[in-house]
């Protein structure tokens, strides 16, 4: 990924680490795989993996070539005005996904997830721990994990219907139309009344 400020001679080591990481995540899942193990597979010191790639999340993001900034930007949105969060999340989401070059690595992950349980597990663990879990902690309510998984269900549905199956008119609707139409659903999932089925304590069941 990033090439700035590194000597060309290091690229072999970086590639070996990324390759080991891909095998480790695919073989053992996101949760089970460790930096130590990836280092051993690549024949390098764990400190070097940390030096090049940072945390396990950073390594995963680099290995599967997910554009990293959107995830951090997503989580940063939660700390701002919560009453407009649904709309802001969706605006950011569409601006990232409407750029075709951002899509292919994540579509490749989804493609594996629908055909293999191991890939589905890896995607599930990554989304749960590193995206939804962090947003849920920012939200800080007892039912936050239910709320963030509802948001995820609508966003994954947009990925599938706008970019994969390409259902019209949703596939070519301007993003403002979708933000106006779908933003309020995300807002309700995040902060609204989820109905009588969720108890008064707001706990996810």
The distance of closest approach from Cβ of residue 198 to a second copy in the complex, given in angstroms and rounded to an integer, is: 6
Q: Residue 174 Cβ, how far from a second copy at the closest point, in Å?
A: 7
What does the buried/exposed string (b/e) look like for 112-141 if buried means 16 or more CB atoms within 10 Å of the residue's CB?
Answer: bbeeeeebebbbbbbbbebbbebbbebbee
- Is residue 142 within 8 A of residue 201, CB to CB? The reply is yes
The nearest distance, CB 27 to a second copy, in angstroms, is: 19
Give the residue with the Cβ less far from a second copy, 40 or 164: 164
Taking the complex as a whole, the smallest distance from the CB of residue 59 to a second copy amounts, in Å, to 21
Residue 141 or 161: the one with the smaller Cβ distance to a second copy is 161
- The nearer residue to a second copy, 44 or 90, going by C-beta atoms, is 90
Which one, 46 or 184, has the nearer CB to a second copy?
Answer: 184
* Residue ranges that bind a second copy, judged by CB under 8 A: 107, 110-111, 113-115, 120, 123-124, 127-128, 132, 145-146, 149-150, 152-158, 160-162, 164-171, 173-174, 176-177, 179-185, 188-189, 194-198, 204-205
Distances (CA, A) of 52 to 11, 31, 158: 11, 20, 34
* Structure-token pair, residue 105: 């690595």
Nearest to 23 by CA among 117, 106, 118, 115: 118
Rounded-to-integer distance, Cα 123 and Cα 110, Å: 8
Contacts of 40 (CB under 8 A, 6+ apart): none
**Closer residue to a second copy (CB): 50 or 74:** 74
Distances (CA, A) of 138 to 37, 77, 78, 134: 31, 10, 6, 6
Q: Which is nearer to a second copy, 62 or 123 (CB)?
A: 123
**How many other C-beta atoms are found inside a 10 Å radius of the C-beta of residue 20?**
22
Tokens 């051993």 — which residue?
Answer: 40
């Amino acid at each position: 990924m990033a090439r700035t400020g590194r000597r060309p001679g290091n690229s072999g080591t970086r590639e070996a680490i990324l390759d080991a990481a891909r095998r480790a995540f695919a073989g053992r899942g996101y949760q089970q795989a460790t930096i130590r193990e990836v280092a051993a597979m690549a024949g390098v010191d764990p400190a070097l993996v940390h030096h090049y790639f940072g945390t396990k999340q950073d390594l995963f993001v680099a290995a599967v070539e997910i554009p990293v900034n959107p995830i951090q930007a997503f989580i940063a949105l939660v700390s701002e005005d919560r009453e407009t969060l649904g709309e802001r999340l969706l605006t950011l989401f569409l601006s990232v996904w409407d750029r075709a070059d951002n899509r292919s690595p994540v579509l490749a992950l989804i493609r594996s997830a629908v055909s293999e349980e191991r890939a589905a597990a890896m995607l599930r663990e990554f989304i749960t721990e590193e995206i939804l879990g962090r947003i849920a902690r920012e939200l800080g309510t007892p039912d936050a994990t239910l709320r963030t998984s509802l948001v995820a269900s609508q966003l994954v549905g947009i990925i599938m219907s706008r970019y994969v199956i390409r259902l019209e008119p949703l596939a070519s609707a301007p993003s403002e139309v979708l933000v106006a139409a779908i933003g309020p659903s995300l807002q309700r999932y995040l902060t609204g009344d989820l109905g009588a089925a969720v108890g008064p304590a707001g706990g996810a069941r």
